[in-house]
Amino acid sequence: MNTQKVTIADVAKRAGVSKGLVSFALNDRPGVSPETRTRILAVAGDLGWKPSLRARSLSTRRSFALGLVVARNPEVLGSDPFFPSFIAGVESILSDRGQALVLSVVPSEEAEIRSYRQLVDDGRVDGVFLTDLRHDDPRIPLLTELGLPAVTLGRPDGPSPFPAVSIDDTPGIAESVAYLARLGHRRIAHIAGSSTMLHGTRRRDAFEAALCTAGLPLGQTIETDFSVAAGSDATRRLLTREDAPTAIVYANDPMAIAGLGVAHELGIRVPDELSITGFDDIDFSRYVYPPLTTVSATPVVWGRAAATTLLALIETGAADDVNLPAARLIIRGSAAAPAHTRKSAT
């Protein structure tokens, strides 16, 4: 209950020094003799002094907080565990360093821009995480103009003054396609994410490149917004066609799980009559039936790395890009040799 009662002045008086010196001792700055420093710190401890963050903020013009503004629509936000995990990773770094996370969830791109401006106008944060990178992402020039440090998750497609923390998702898609091709599939489709998102396009490009590598004809691709609903619709369209694919590579797990539902509904057995692969390895993926063959993702690791990088950037003014281990294929039960291959093998 005594909290916030004792101030730097109390410590100074009790230690018989000036407030300035207490501040120097606290911040480990040169100009205080070791003995004096020790004495000051001891007095501070005795008194239970907790330096006021608000006062420090005012004089240092720092907020000791990092920001994350999320502009996903509520549905895809809810069915995708990326953010909870990413945030858990971020927090594991921040909590030990006395930093806080300010989270903003906004419904539109306009609201997103307003949110960033508000954050800097209010001096709420010292830097932000840029997730879900888009093509020619408007946030990069915006933050540059605002002078707010940032770290991007993945490398932007335009010029960027910010360090990037990346996980290459190309190998995961490539492995998925190669695996399906090896099983004997020739009509492989892709249910892609939004083409406004960098990772939507990148996974799609990886899919097409992998098809090419495997010597397979170009497959059908349907673009979605990454939502469960869109994944469901796209699957239905694909499966009710004349030349329905025998395998579908999904750009994320939630859509793949929805696809599983559609297949069940249509009486198409997975993996016997249809193979599917996902992306992200969300918790659900191993508990649906059949368990989903998918690509691992490590959002917690990404969160830690991004937080570490952003903090370094803020403190030192510079930080290197970091490349995290690529996502890999995890083979479970949702893919198998296509029906005709099986028949001819019998």
Partner DNA sequence: CTGAAAGCGCTTACAG
Where on the chain is the footprint of DNA (CB under 7 A)? 4, 7-9, 16-24, 26-27, 29-34, 36, 49-52, 54-56, 58-61
Footprint (CB under 8 A) of a second copy, residues 79-98: 79, 81, 83-85, 87-88, 91-92, 95, 98
Q: Which does 17 bind (CB under 5 to 8 A by kind): DNA, a second copy, none?
A: DNA
Of 283, 320, 321, 323, the one binding a second copy (CB under 8 A) is: 283
* Spatial CA neighbour of 288 closest among 298, 299, 300, 278: 278
Residue 46 corresponds to which tokens in the numbers above? 């005795």
Q: How far is CA 332 from CA 245, 246, 335, in A?
A: 20, 17, 8
Backbone angle region of 258, left / alpha / beta, with phi > 0 → left and psi within -120 to 50 → alpha: alpha
Three-state secondary structure readout of 15-68: HCCCHHHHHHHHCCCCCCCHHHHHHHHHHHHHHCCCCCHHHHHHHHCCCCEEEE
Q: Which does 30 bind (CB under 5 to 8 A by kind): DNA, a second copy, none?
A: DNA
Of 41, 77, 183, 222, the one binding a second copy (CB under 8 A) is: 77
**Interface characters, 122-151, with a second copy (x: CB under 8 A):** xxx--------------------xxx----
* Spatial CA neighbour of 183 closest among 313, 340, 39, 315: 340
Interface stretch with a second copy, choices 27-35, 132-140, 158-166, 229-237 (CB under 8 A): 229-237
- The verdict on 310 binding a second copy (CB under 8 A) reads no
Distance from C-alpha of 37 to C-alpha of 60, rounded to nearest angstrom? 22
- The verdict on 343 binding a second copy (CB under 8 A) reads no
Q: Which does 23 bind (CB under 5 to 8 A by kind): DNA, a second copy, none?
A: DNA
Looking at the Cβ atoms of 98 and 159, the one nearer to DNA is 98
